[in-house]
Amino acid sequence: MSKSLRLSEKWFRRGLWLVALVFASFLIGLGGTVVGDLPRVETPLQLDDFLDRPAAEALRAQVRAARQAEQDAQSALEQAQLQRGKARSESQAERETFNNWLAARSVTQRAEHDPEVLARTQALDLLKQAERQTQQAVEVQQQAALDARQSATAARQGLERLEAEGAKKLAAERRRVELRVFLYRLALTLPLLALAGWLFVKQRKGTWWPFVWGFIFFALFAFFVELVPYLPSYGGYVRYAVGIVLTALVGRYAILALNRYLERQKQAEALPDQQRRKELGYDVALARLAKGVCPGCERPVDLKDATIDFCPHCGIGLFDRCGECSTRKSAFARFCHACGTSSRQTAPEPATGA
């Protein structure tokens, strides 16, 4: 088609295609803004909305208290362990001193040292008792820390069970919200797609075709970018089912369109040669000739063969003779390329015998 257009017309068409693309880009931007704001019509969902609030707050408070008790018990345990270590060191040192003193006494065998033996033994017993008390204090804090950990674990498990049930409800509600938002998108996109289909069928070659094509691009973008990626899957059943339906609809339309086209071609090929050339249109005929096909039936024809004047498939005239200079020219040309005579001046009919 472009080879049959005037140079200025080519540039005008390119500019109009640019207008169509710019128009589509602005529509896409506006549509994307509207579609992006659609989820705002739904209230944001939180996990707490699907929990037993009093029970959840009680469990959380119990977890916090148990954690605080565990921290306090751990701090007290560290202090008790420090005191135990100190008492153990003092007891060990006193025992070593006492053992050394006993060794010295056994050498001298002095009886006046017996009261001192008793006093040292009593002091050592006191240190051992203090060591046992610090050990008991450590065990008490260990028990307190263990109780706090177990209490925190039990409260945490109860809270986790509660939150797990709430998470299931939240996930189900989110799926319902996503479905509703998808239906909003569908309600917005399908009318645009239907209008784009009507414009494609009825208005794509009209005066305002740049805006028509811009709207068609916008509708296709809205469908394939703003709608299809958000199509609920449900394990793939929905997506595959929608794909099958769309493919069946498009295939049915293509089959019917092909049958209608073939029927029109049969009807056109049954018309007289002059009427067929007149109904084809100048630009359409030149565009098909440029592709090396017959303008009437669109089948391949060797147009470079000078012996071929008619299509061997449908019989339409492809070349004739100028009525002024008898030069062989295209039957669809408006003027003779050799002498410039209008093609309306037909060649004289050969004389017939009396």
Please, which pLDDT band fits residue 353 given cuts at 50, 70 and 90? very low
Q: Residues 232, 177: contact at Cβ < 8 Å?
A: no
Q: Residues 279, 268: contact at Cβ < 8 Å?
A: yes
Q: Residues 170, 49: contact at Cβ < 8 Å?
A: yes
pLDDT: which is higher, 270 or 245 = 245
301-343 residue pLDDT tens: 888 888 888 888 888 888 888 888 888 888 888 888 888 888 7
Q: Residues 155, 43: contact at Cβ < 8 Å?
A: no
Phi, psi for residue 335 in degrees, rounded to 5 = -140, 155
Domains of the chain, residue spans: 1-230, 233-270, 275-330
Please, which pLDDT band fits residue 204 given cuts at 50, 70 and 90? confident
Give the percent of the chain with pLDDT over 70.
79
Q: How far is CA 165 from the centre of its chain?
A: 29
Please, which pLDDT band fits residue 352 given cuts at 50, 70 and 90? very low
Helix (H, G, I), strand (E, B) or coil at 342: strand
- The enclosing H or E element of 176 equals helix 114-202
Q: For the chain, report the end-to-end CA distance as a whole number of angstroms.
A: 48
Q: Residues 39, 171: contact at Cβ < 8 Å?
A: no
Mean pLDDT (whole number) for 183-199? 84
Please, which pLDDT band fits residue 178 given cuts at 50, 70 and 90? confident
Q: Residues 117, 105: contact at Cβ < 8 Å?
A: yes
Q: Between the ranges 2-16, 51-65, 89-103, where is the mean pLDDT highest?
A: 51-65
Give the percent of the chain with pLDDT over 90.
0
Mean pLDDT (whole number) for 76-93? 74
CA-wise closest residue to 123 among 103, 92, 83, 94: 94
Rg (CA), the chain: 49
Q: Residues 16, 210: contact at Cβ < 8 Å?
A: yes
Give the DSSP letter string of 101-143: HHHHHHHH--GGGHHHHHHHHHHHHHHHHHHHHHHHHHHHHHH
Strand partners, 329: 320
pLDDT for res 350:
38
pLDDT for res 242:
76
d(CA 272, CA 282): 17
Helix (H, G, I), strand (E, B) or coil at 332: coil
23-78 residue pLDDT tens: 888 888 887 787 777 666 666 767 666 677 777 777 778 778 878 877 877 787 77
* Amino acid at position 203, single letter: Q
Per residue in 241-260, is it b (16+ CB within 10 Å) or e — as a string? eeeeeeeeeeeeeeeeeeee
CA-wise closest residue to 123 among 104, 154, 149, 97: 97
Give the DSSP letter string of 228-272: GGG---TTTHHHHHHHHHHHHHHHHHHHHHHHHHHHHHHHHHTS-
Can you give the length of the chain in residues?
354
Q: Structure tokens of 230?
A: 């958000």
* Amino acid at position 212, single letter: V
Q: Residues 214, 19: contact at Cβ < 8 Å?
A: yes
pTM score: 0.50
pLDDT for res 48:
67
